[in-house]
């Protein structure tokens, strides 16, 4: 028995596919979310910069504009240094400049010696201050006397976005773990049928040919289960045929073997040459009958172990070629009895198992020659009738009475014709071949005066 080595695991491969799909989904989704969050964060933070600038402007125009003008009337006034919670946290910087270029107000971290961006530039801009990149927004007051500039460190902005994305990825790991665990659980449950099947087959008795029982199998496992059931059915059929063959052979071989022994004892005790010759002739006849019985049993066993689905193994068979091969064996018997055998095959080809057709014709023609008296006639022909090819064998022998025709297919039933050479298996073998090809079989009266055996093979096999 060859050693089988598994180089990969179905369970492991499915789990790897699920893991790759989940991780890829997480990565793609995370990158997409991070990118979308970055764009949205830029828009939100630009809006906040614009809102901060507008807030500072409103503060100036409504509350301290008069005071600031008084302060700026002298050239030696010092700018206001305002420290708020956002500016102390290094989130935002802002400055307020006069149209003459004097700094009036700034946040805690804003530079005092230069504007955040050019005083002539309004709106959004990206500048570099002290080696760091800033996003700025500038707007003038209503009377154009002041310029408000606000700024946000871009690195700090992305740090906030990265923190948000980190939280997002962290929360994604929780459903990822749940999905991975659920996938693993369902995968194990889905493959439980395979484990059950393997366990049953490993523990099964070699003679147990019953169907394998697997509860709720997946659709993909059904072809395997059906193939296993079909295989066990064929093996069970073969074992049944073998048991029957062994039983029948053991039973039927007792008689010819006992006869051979008896005739051999007579030959051993013969007193004259004539007695010895007669005993030896009986031994040879008994040996021929035993050989014929074994041959018939083997043919029957081989036909019955053929697959019932004959179409996949059926081949085009020429009836004339099979007939010539059969008559090569039976010609001496026909010639000895001066029997004329005629064959006519207008339809010369059918799709069938060649050996089965050979066994069929050999048994039919051997029976016809055996039961036809000296100088009689035997004929075989084929023709199309409807959707079938009909094969007919006629003889001019005594025939079979209509009430006995059903029993003619029973094994070893010779219908009281003990004087005719044979073992009573010919028509039983013919019936098995016809059944194998899903054909029909009838025993009728022959125009030649004896028996007609008529077999109709379905056109699907032709």
What does each C-alpha distance from 253 to 222, 267, 297 come to in angstroms? 45, 21, 11
Specify the CATH number of the domain 10-163.
3.30.450
Average pLDDT, the chain: 75
pLDDT grade for 378, boundaries at 50, 70 and 90: very high
Per-residue pLDDT at 398 = 87
CA–CA gap between residue 383 and residue 395 (Å, rounded): 18
Q: Is the pLDDT of residue 419 over 70?
A: no
Region 94-104: what's the mean pLDDT? 83
Chain segment 39-79, per-residue pLDDT in tens: 776 777 778 778 877 887 777 666 555 555 554 444 444 45
Residue 338 has what pLDDT? 92
What is the arithmetic mean of pLDDT over 74-93? Answer: 50
pLDDT-based confidence at 86, cuts 50/70/90?
very low
Residue 149 has pLDDT above 70, yes or no: yes
Q: What confidence category does residue 87 fall into, taking pLDDT thresholds of 50, 70 and 90?
A: very low
Is the pLDDT confidence value at 302 over 80?
no
- pLDDT over 80 at 216, yes or no: no
Query: What is the residue whose two structure tokens read 């004896």?
Result: 450
**123-129 vs 146-153, strand pairing mode:** unpaired
- What would the pLDDT profile of 235-265 be if each residue is shown by its tens digit? 776 677 666 666 666 655 666 677 777 878 8
- Helix/strand/coil for 350: strand
What lies within 8 Å, CB to CB, of 326 at 6+ separation is: 358, 361, 362, 365
* Chain segment 193-203, per-residue pLDDT in tens: 777 777 777 77
Percent of the chain with pLDDT over 70: 71
Residue 453 token pair: 């055996």
83 pLDDT higher than 50? no
Predicted pLDDT at 183: 75
Q: What whole-number distance in Å separates Cα of residue 26 and Cα of residue 21?
A: 9
> Residues 373-386: what's their mean pLDDT?
90
Measured CA to CA, the distance from residue 313 to residue 6 in angstroms comes to: 32
Report the pLDDT value the prediction gives residue 164, as an integer from 0 to 100.
63
Residue 416, pLDDT score: 47
| pLDDT at residue 311 is higher than 60 | no
202, 204, 207, 209 alpha-carbon torsion, rounded to 10°? -100
320 vs 196 pLDDT, higher one: 320
Which pLDDT value is given to residue 377? 93
pLDDT band at 342 (very low <50, low <70, confident <90, very high): very high
Q: Say if residue 84's pLDDT is above 50.
A: no
59 closest CA partner among 51, 71, 70: 51
Give the integer Cα–Cα distance in Å for 81 and 96: 11
Domain at 311-461: CATH code: 3.30.565.10
**Does residue 380 register a pLDDT over 90?**
yes
**Which is more confident, 211 or 330?**
330
With CA atoms as reference, report the closest residue to 150 among 26, 266, 54: 54
How far is residue 145 from each of residues 2, 29, 94, 113, measured CA to CA in Å?
97, 50, 17, 20
103 pLDDT higher than 90 = no
Where is pLDDT greater, at 402 or 293?
402
**Calpha distance 429→423 (Å, rounded):** 12
Predicted confidence at residue 462, as pLDDT, reads 45
- 244, with CB counted inside 10 A (0-12, 13-18, 19+), is middle
| pLDDT score of 414 more than 60 | no
In the predicted structure, residue 101 carries a pLDDT above the cut 50: yes
| Run of H or E residues at 442 | strand 440-445
pLDDT for the residue 74: 46
Of residues 134 and 302, more confidence is placed in 134
Listed ranges 21-30, 128-137, 246-255; the one with the highest mean pLDDT: 128-137
What element of type H or E holds 82? strand 80-82
3-state helix, strand, coil in the chain (%, to 5): 55, 20, 25
The pLDDT of residue 127 is: 84
């Amino acid at each position: 028995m060859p050693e089988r080595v598994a180089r990969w695991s179905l369970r492991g491969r499915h789990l790897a596919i699920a893991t790759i799909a989940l991780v890829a989904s997480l990565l793609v989704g995370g990158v997409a979310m991070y990118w979308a969050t970055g764009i949205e964060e830029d828009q939100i933070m630009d809006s906040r910069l614009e809102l901060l600038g507008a807030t500072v402007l409103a503060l100036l125009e409504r509350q301290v504009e008069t005071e600031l003008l008084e302060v700026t009337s002298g050239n030696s006034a010092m700018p206001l240094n305002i420290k708020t919670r956002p500016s102390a946290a290094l989130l935002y910087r802002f400055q307020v400049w006069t149209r003459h270029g004097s700094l009036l107000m700034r946040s805690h971290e804003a530079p005092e010696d230069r504007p955040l961006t050019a005083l002539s530039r309004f709106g959004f801009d990206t500048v570099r201050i002290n080696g760091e990149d800033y996003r700025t927004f500038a707007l003038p007051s209503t009377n154009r006397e002041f310029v408000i500039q606000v700024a946000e460190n871009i690195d700090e902005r992305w740090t906030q976005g990265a923190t948000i994305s980190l939280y997002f990825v962290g929360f994604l790991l929780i459903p990822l773990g749940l999905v991975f665990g659920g996938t693993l659980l369902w995968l194990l449950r889905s493959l439980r049928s395979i484990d059950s099947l393997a366990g049953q087959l490993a523990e099964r008795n070699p003679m147990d040919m019953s169907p394998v029982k697997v509860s709720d199998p997946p659709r993909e496992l059904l072809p395997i289960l059906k193939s296993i059931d079909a295989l066990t059915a064929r093996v069970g059929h073969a074992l049944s045929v073998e048991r029957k063959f062994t039983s029948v052979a053991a039973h039927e071989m007792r008689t010819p073997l006992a006869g051979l022994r008896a005739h051999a004892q007579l030959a051993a005790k013969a007193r004259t040459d004539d007695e010895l010759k007669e005993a030896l002739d009986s031994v040879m006849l008994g040996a021929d009958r035993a050989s014929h019985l074994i041959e018939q049993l083997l043919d029957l066993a081989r036909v019955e172990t053929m697959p019932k689905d004959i179409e996949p193994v059926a081949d085009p068979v020429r009836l004339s070629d099979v007939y010539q091969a059969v008559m090569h064996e039976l010609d001496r018997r026909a010639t000895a009895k001066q029997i004329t055998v005629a064959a006519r095959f207008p339809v010369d080809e059918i799709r069938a198992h060649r050996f089965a057709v050979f066994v069929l014709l050999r048994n039919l023609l051997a029976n016809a020659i055996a039961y036809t008296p000296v100088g009689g006639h035997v004929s075989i022909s084929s023709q199309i009738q409807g959707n079938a090819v009909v094969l007919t064998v006629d003889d001019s022998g005594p025939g079979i009475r209509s009430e006995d025709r059903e029993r003619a297919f029973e094994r070893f039933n010779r219908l009281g014709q003990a004087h005719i050479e044979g073992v009573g298996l010919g028509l039983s073998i013919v019936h098995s071949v016809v059944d194998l090809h899903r054909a029909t079989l009838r025993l009728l009266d022959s125009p030649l005066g004896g028996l007609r055996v008529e077999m109709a093979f379905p056109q699907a096999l032709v």
